[in-house]
Amino acid sequence: MGAQTASTLFDDRVLHTLQIAIHSRDWDQLRSTYLENDHYPADLTWNGIRVTNVGVRSRGRTTRSGVKPGLEIDFAHYGTGGQFLGLQALVLDNMLLDKSMIRERVAMAFLRRFGVPAPRESFATLFINGQYAGLYAMVEEVDSGFAQRALGDANGALFEYRWLRPYYGEYLGDDLDLYRPLFEPRAREYDSVFNLYDPIRELFRAINDTPAASFRDAVGLRLDLAAMLRLVAADVLLAEADGIVSFAGMNNFYLHRHSTTQRHQFLPWDKDFALFQWNYQITDGTSQHALIRRALEDPELRSLYAGFLIEAVESATDAGWLEQEVQRAYEQIREAVLADPVKPYTNEEFEAEVAMVIDLARRRPAFVLSEVQRLFGGR
Amino acid sequence: MNSTNRAWNVVCAVAFIVTLAVPAGVLAQTTSEEQTVSEEQTASEEQTTSKGTSTQDGKAGVFRMGNSPSLRWGNQVRIDLHARVQADVSLQEESDAASDRLGWGNRRIGVDGVLFKRVEFQIEREFSDVEPWRDVFADVRMHRALRVRAGHFKVPFSMERTTSDFDLDFIARAASVTDISPGRETGIMLHGRGPRRFFEYELGVFRLAEPPLKPLVESGTDGAMLTAARFTFTPGTASIGIAFTGSRLPESLHGLSGHFDDDGLLSSEGFYVNGRRRRLGVEGRWTAGRLSIKGELLRQADSREGESVSNSDLSDLIVDGGYVSGAWRIVGSPRRSRRSVDVAARFERLGFHSTSQFDAPSLGSRADHIAPLRQDAWTFGGTWLVNRWVKVQVNAIRESFVDETGIRPEIPQARWRSLMRLQFSM
């Protein structure tokens, strides 16, 4: 056996096998209280490597289930310094809302291919105490380890965005407590409220209150605008309806603040609503979104964005990458999905959904390109 | 009271009545010295905390005032009344308001005595809502080597645990003693001694008022039994002893909470146990003139049957520790004295770990190798026996925690504490 690394774990060319040994009562308890975040001890085995005393908990927001629970494996829950292949945690996504079960994995692969810092993912068949418990996506946790790998900065602040109501990036006011519920710290949790949230407040103040002429410079001090536009362009190509620019405000992202530059960067999360409609309008949600709307009012940023959109189309169509990736993912998981005893949809629904995604992969890039040319007139 | 409780009480009562019905001829075989039951109390000073005055005057209805008020009816009945109170004061400057630095220790009243030269008894009540009835038992003497005690009293385990709170060298018992030793339970015990107390034994069976730990699943069959045995040998001025207990342990979560976590820092650590709880204690004491040295090693092993992540057995969860202490009498007779000043020092240790060290150490509740944690403490103290009733004690205690694995995110800092106790005992 060669050296095992996190890259091996997230090698999406392989359908992995995960074994979890968990006390039968704990597993029953986890499933019956799947809305709670209680951790249970377990042993995890992958590729012949057994990791003892990991913490397992139910996870997810709209995807929580007592039948096929989404799981988080926390390697450090029962002792500081706990890790596996350099990872502090591993997410097992139950893909409950995606009948094709390939959207999340393919979308994240495209984001990384397109140069967006995105979690690594691969598929795994999961066995609980020797019993097949279904197909899962193994997702790299967005934490300080991820920030170090993807951004070269493990010491920055990191927030998980919490969708509470449609929020389009407007300035909420001076009170820092207005921002705290929306941005939940995932690193530097013990910093003061002021240190954590004052930069976020000032970011949204700058987004909304800066005159147009100085928008790019003022906001650019606090936010990596190019990285943001690249992510939005990728989401557009992926017909992502539930990302930073979604049908109901901002959603599904982490916000990282670099420890030295103090600039923020959006990081994508949860792509199970991507690839959902081939002709999803590329401007949907942008007019309401304070950040996108104002950024696209700046000619230089608008041109940059248009370029990113075209680049995304080229990346998706290069050697038919998107269509081939969807097809490859489908073929990789088909048998495992058909055998999945706890998926909340039928095999027929799975096949029909995959067919729809394959159709989208064929038609979406051309649609986006035509829309870009119509709206932006080329670069 | 459930049926189990009733059945157990009936068993105790019947056994006790049988012992009372032993023919007097058995007693006639003993010597007069042996019939002076009260003298034997010193063999178990922790369980009979007061020494009455002689009952040999033969006069009825006499009230006497010795160490405590005493009523006599000839030499057939002796009843001593007791009242005892302790007040503790924290001497730390950083402590909060004065009211927070003051606290009551034990506040007890009770009676004990001897009936018809055969039956000792003791009834003691604490002014507290928590376990208000302390010792409530009768002790029948059939022979020097065979006595029967029934009621509610201390399980015979640990020299220091079975020493009265009012007779300790320090304000508090060693943490390992408090933590590992069982307390008072309802049961029946055979005990006795050989000539010159060279050999003493205690064999008891008790019904636990509550399971040792809160069961994960209430079975409705509480009242687990505990068996205990203790043997003590006293060759000359030294004494050594060994003690065991065993009891069933329901499936439950056994955490550091209640062991170390005065500050609640470690209460999140819990480990599943199931099966049996076994305790082992070794004790020793040596006295030479004004110097006395004693120590104990104690160990509690909880089995973890079927508690691994794969439902197999885990290695035993161990709580162990001990202490060694020395005391020097500066003022007063080396033996019993109504006025004395002692200085003493004690080193103690309390540890928490598992027998397995195969896997990487972990804080997981089903870890085979539990990351060890221990608490070390030094106590330095002085005891001033002002007169037969009043005692003053001052202790300075240095506690530190050791997490050799370093995997706990936070452990309490080492700290000094200082306490003073005022005690009145009659």
Q: Report yes or no: A79 at the B interface, CB cutoff 8 Å.
A: yes
Sheet of A183-187: strand order equals A183-187, A157-161, A253-257, A264-268
Residues of A in contact with B310 (CB under 8 A): 21, 23, 43, 129
- Mean local confidence (pLDDT), B145-158: 96
Using CB atoms, pick whichever of A24, A53, A129 lies closest to residue B364: A53
Provide the pLDDT confidence category of residue A52 given band limits of 50, 70 and 90. very high
Q: How far is A190 from chain B (nearest CA, A)?
A: 13
Q: How far apart, in whole angstroms, are the C-alpha atoms of residue A169 and residue B194? A: 88
pTM, rounded to two decimals: 0.82
Cα dist. B141→B55, B150, B159 in Å?
17, 12, 22
A23 and B409 within 8 Å at the Cβ level: the answer is no
Residue A293's pLDDT is 93
Q: How far is B354 from chain A (nearest CA, A)?
A: 15
Res B22 pLDDT > 60: no
Q: Mutation target for B interface from A44, A53, A77: give the one with most B CBs within 10 A.
A: A53
Angle formed at CA A301 by CA A297 and CA A304, multiple of 5 degrees: 135
Residue B210's pLDDT is 76
Residue B35's pLDDT is 36
Q: What percent of chain A is modeled with pLDDT above 70?
A: 99
B368 and A24 within 8 Å at the Cβ level: the answer is no
Top mean-pLDDT range of A53-67, A105-119, B57-71: A105-119
Interface of A with B in 114-173 (CB under 8 A): 129
Provide the pLDDT confidence category of residue B409 given band limits of 50, 70 and 90. confident
Using CB atoms, pick whichever of A21, A80, A82 lies closest to residue B310: A21
- Mean local confidence (pLDDT), B219-224: 58
ipTM of the complex: 0.82
Res A62 pLDDT > 90: no
Convert B50-91 into a string of H (helix), E (strand) and C (coil): CCCCCCCCCCEEEEEECCCEEEEECCCEEEEEEEEEEEEEEC
Q: Which residue has the tokens 């033969």?
A: B58
B406 and A81 within 8 Å at the Cβ level: the answer is yes
Nearest chain A alpha carbon to B372: A79
Residues of B with CB under 8 A from a CB of A: 216, 272, 307-311, 359-368, 371, 405-409
Residue B217's pLDDT is 67
Provide the pLDDT confidence category of residue B40 given band limits of 50, 70 and 90. very low
Nearest chain A alpha carbon to B270: A78
pLDDT single digits (tens) B367-406: 999 999 999 999 999 999 999 899 999 999 999 989 988 8
Read off the amino acid at residue B273.
Answer: V
Q: How far apart, in whole angstroms, are the C-alpha atoms of residue A196 and residue A184? A: 10
Q: Which of B31-35, B106-110, B163-167, B358-362 has the lowest mean pLDDT?
A: B31-35
Q: Mutation target for A interface from B307, B366, B369: give the one with most A CBs within 10 A.
A: B366
Q: Report yes or no: A22 at the B interface, CB cutoff 8 Å.
A: yes
Q: What is the rounded end-to-end Cα distance, in angstroms, of chain A?
A: 49
Structure tokens at A202: 């000032």
Angle formed at CA B400 by CA B396 and CA B402, multiple of 5 degrees: 160
Q: Mutation target for A interface from B216, B309, B405: give the one with most A CBs within 10 A.
A: B309
Taking residue B18's Cβ as centre, other Cβ atoms within 10 Å add up to 11
Q: Decide: B348 and B170 in contact? Cβ < 8 Å.
A: no
pLDDT single digits (tens) A268-325: 999 999 998 999 999 887 888 999 999 999 999 999 999 999 999 999 999 999 999 9
Nearest to A42 by CA among A55, A31, A29, A28: A55
> To the nearest 5 percent, what fractions of chain B are helix, strand and coil?
10, 50, 35
Buried b (16+ CB within 10 A) or exposed e, A270-299: bbbbbbbebebebeebbebbbbbbbbbebe
- Mean local confidence (pLDDT), B140-152: 95
B363 and A79 within 8 Å at the Cβ level: the answer is yes
Provide the pLDDT confidence category of residue B65 given band limits of 50, 70 and 90. confident
Q: What percent of chain B is modeled with pLDDT above 90?
A: 52
Q: Decide: B322 and B281 in contact? Cβ < 8 Å.
A: no
Q: How far apart, in whole angstroms, are the C-alpha atoms of residue B88 and residue B94? A: 16
Strand partners, B400: B376
**What is the rounded average pLDDT for all residues in chain A?**
94
Nearest chain B alpha carbon to A53: B364
B366 and A41 within 8 Å at the Cβ level: the answer is yes
pLDDT single digits (tens) A317-332: 999 999 999 999 999 9
Q: Which of A142-146, B250-254, B379-383 has the lowest mean pLDDT?
A: B250-254
